[in-house]
Amino acid sequence: EVQLVESGGGLVQPGGSLRLSCAASGFTFSSYWMHWVRQAPGKGLVWVSHINSDGSSISYADSVKGRFTISRDNAKNTLYLQMNSLRAEDTAVYYCTRAHPTLVVISYYWGQGTLVTVSS
Amino acid sequence: AIQLTQSPSSLSASVGDRVTITCRASQGISSALAWYQQKPGKAPNLLIYDASNLESGVPSRFSGSGSGTDFTLTISSLQPEDFATYYCQQFNSYPLTFGQGTRLEIK
């Protein structure tokens, strides 16, 4: 069974930093692209970032470029999102997602999400 | 970035109704479109990819069509479990983008 378990969310002040982690199990982590998608309370889905299977291809939404860094440790089956210079508008549930088996750019399996709240 | 506009933003319908949701892209995206269903407090679930391909395990009452800039998701006969929010997503180019969502409510 595929499992994606996010952690690291919480309350942080504007300008602060957080690192989200996503522990993956039930599949060969090193073979799949991974994505982060976020959802502000009561709002829609927003794609944040992707990383390919070996970490050589990465992209970001314009709203987080230069502030967020996606990475992965294939030996630990873990995906990360380092978030710096956080703003109130970054407040959201952050979902770790695994790519579709044949379409690497879309999300297929989703974690339960971790809530990040940016507030003073 | 490619913008996706869904219509309507919300919709009230009854069990057994046929429902269509539209997603319009700000520029052509070929067939690079997916549809997701999200229920309250849950993560989204993939329904359709490549505009019209039904994901394995998804009931056949769901169907998708379109290419270029105009796409539709159709539910042929609404079931109680279909009341949820639906999102389209384009994957033709980065940044990947979602529509704003369509909330489907019980009439």
- At residue B22, φ and ψ (nearest 5 deg) are -110, 145
B89 reaches A (C-beta below 8 A): yes
**Pairing mode, strands B19-25 and A18-25:** unpaired
> Quick check: A106 and B91 CB within 8 A?
yes
H-helix or E-strand spanning residue B56: none
Cβ count within 10 A of residue B79? 11
State the pLDDT at residue A58: 97
Of all residues in chain B, the one with the smallest CA distance to A101 is B55
* Nearest chain B Cα distance for residue A77, angstroms: 21
> Quick check: B36 and A47 CB within 8 A?
no
Residue of B5, B39, B96 to mutate, interface with A, max A Cβ within 10 Å: B96
Tell me which residue of A27, A7, A8, A20 sits closest to A100, measured CA to CA: A27
Q: What is the mean pLDDT of chain B?
A: 97
For B66-103, write each residue's pLDDT tens digit. 999 999 999 999 999 999 999 999 999 999 999 999 99
For A68-84, write each residue's pLDDT tens digit. 999 999 999 999 999 99
Reported as a pLDDT band with limits 50, 70 and 90, residue B41 is very high
A108 reaches B (C-beta below 8 A): yes
For A9-36, write each residue's pLDDT tens digit. 999 999 999 999 999 999 999 999 999 9
The residue ranges of DSSP E strands in chain A, in sequence order, are 3-7, 10-12, 18-25, 34-39, 45-51, 58-60, 68-73, 78-83, 92-99, 107-110, 114-118
A50 reaches B (C-beta below 8 A): yes
* Nearest chain B Cα distance for residue A61, angstroms: 6
